[in-house]
Amino acid sequence: METLQLGNSSLRVGRLGLGCMGMSEFYGPADEAESIRTLHSALDLGVNFFDTADMYGSGHNETLIGRAFKGKWSQLVLATKFGFLRDAKGGFAGLDCSPAHIREACDASLKRLGVETIDLYYAHRVDPQVPIEDTVGAMGDLVTAGKVRFLGLSEADADQLRRAQKIHPITALQTEYSLWSRDPEGAILDTCRELGIAFVAYSPLGRGFLTGAIPSREALDPGDYRLHSPRFQPEALEQNKAFIALVERIARAKEITPAQVALAWVLNQDANIFPIPGTRKLSRLKENLAALAVRFTAAELAEIRSQLPTAVGGRY
């Protein structure tokens, strides 16, 4: 896969990365052996940009990735995140982006991953209790200490990006972006382009919904996080099927799959956008990578945009 410079950093990554979250939590049970096979195959297929966070499976995801990529780190760029706290039972225990917590969280991630340096370290959210200057200042200290190479933020707004960039160069902003989550269009994508910050699009498949593989709530495991998500509530899900109808129409016309439509739409918006679709399955990984070859003309993009429904239900 061709690699591109990520923001203004010296990191080079393929346009499509791999989101690893579902290998530990949120989307039903995962088979560890299958996840590791998918991680190894992803590398073999040219994927070099992998995304995790300390909170995914309360550390399980970082440990899994550490195990899978032992001895292979030079072949890839690993991004992880800090900020969300989990209690001993896995419950959510708030957000902490204070300098003291950042130092502790970074050491814990380094240990779980089994590396000396994290390539890209994100604040998972901007903490309303901590000035962003303090958070980014502490993250910058980790760069000075050699524990982290480059910095990122997740779900920051344009003003927060500008304030952060004054303290330390920000390499990437990771925010949700897909056919049904288009909020970053305008100020956020424009600011990223202006400041030389790469935009990493998370949940580009609409948490799987846009692929058509989740036609009803019954398709989800009882422990699946999406059962609690506003867009997957019975009435919202019914109305959001308008997205599936649109994606399936485009898929038929282009002779590609719905998942490839969803990914290609994001890829074709702007060369500064790096989607990180998540999958635990090798077959789906291959299907998703084929989206790199799909081109939409300006006329096709305009036509799709004119037909886009509005999502029913908030993102969270």
Q: How far apart are CA 178 and CA 57, in angstroms?
A: 24
Cβ distance 112 to 152 under 8 Å? Answer: no
Q: Does 205 bind ligand NAP (CB under 6 A)?
A: yes
Per-residue 3-state assignment (H helix, E strand, C coil) for 192-260: HHHHCCEEEEECCCCCCHHHCCCCCHHHCCCCCHHHHCHHHCHHHHHHHHHHHHHHHHHHHHHCCCHHH
Q: Does 204 bind ligand NAP (CB under 6 A)?
A: yes
User: What is the closest distance, in whole angstroms, from the C-beta atom of residue 220 to ligand NAP in the complex?
Assistant: 9
Q: Does 154 bind ligand NAP (CB under 6 A)?
A: yes
Q: Which residue, 167 or 173, has its beta carbon nearer to ligand NAP?
A: 173
User: What is the closest distance, in whole angstroms, from the C-beta atom of residue 298 to ligand NAP in the complex?
Assistant: 25
Q: Does 278 bind ligand NAP (CB under 6 A)?
A: yes
Candidate list 11, 15, 16, 19; residue touching ligand NAP; CB under 6 A: 19
Q: Does 24 bind ligand NAP (CB under 6 A)?
A: no
Distance of CA 121 to the CA centre of its chain: 13
Residue 56 among the catalytic residues: yes
Q: Does 211 bind ligand NAP (CB under 6 A)?
A: yes
Q: Does 277 bind ligand NAP (CB under 6 A)?
A: yes
User: What is the closest distance, in whole angstroms, from the C-beta atom of residue 117 to ligand NAP in the complex?
Assistant: 20
Structure tokens at 38: 């998918």
Beta bridge partner(s), residue 118: 148
Cβ distance 79 to 120 under 8 Å? Answer: yes
Residue nearest to ligand NAP as judged by C-beta position: 19
Q: Does 231 bind ligand NAP (CB under 6 A)?
A: no
Q: Does 7 bind ligand NAP (CB under 6 A)?
A: no
Place of tokens 């909020």: 183
Q: Is the Cα torsion angle 243, 248, 254, 259 positive or negative in sign?
A: positive
Q: Does 265 bind ligand NAP (CB under 6 A)?
A: no
Q: Does 203 bind ligand NAP (CB under 6 A)?
A: yes
CA nearest neighbour of 173 among 200, 207, 134, 213: 200
Touching ligand NAP, residues 90-109 (CB under 6 A): none
Q: Does 64 bind ligand NAP (CB under 6 A)?
A: no
Place of tokens 């019954």: 218
E strand map for 74-224: 77-82, 84-86, 92-95, 118-123, 148-154, 170-176, 198-202
Touching ligand NAP, residues 109-148 (CB under 6 A): 124
Q: Among all residues, which ones are annotated catalytic?
A: 56
Site of interaction with ligand NAP (CB under 6 A): 19-22, 27, 51, 124, 154, 174, 202-208, 211, 213, 259, 276-281, 284, 287-288
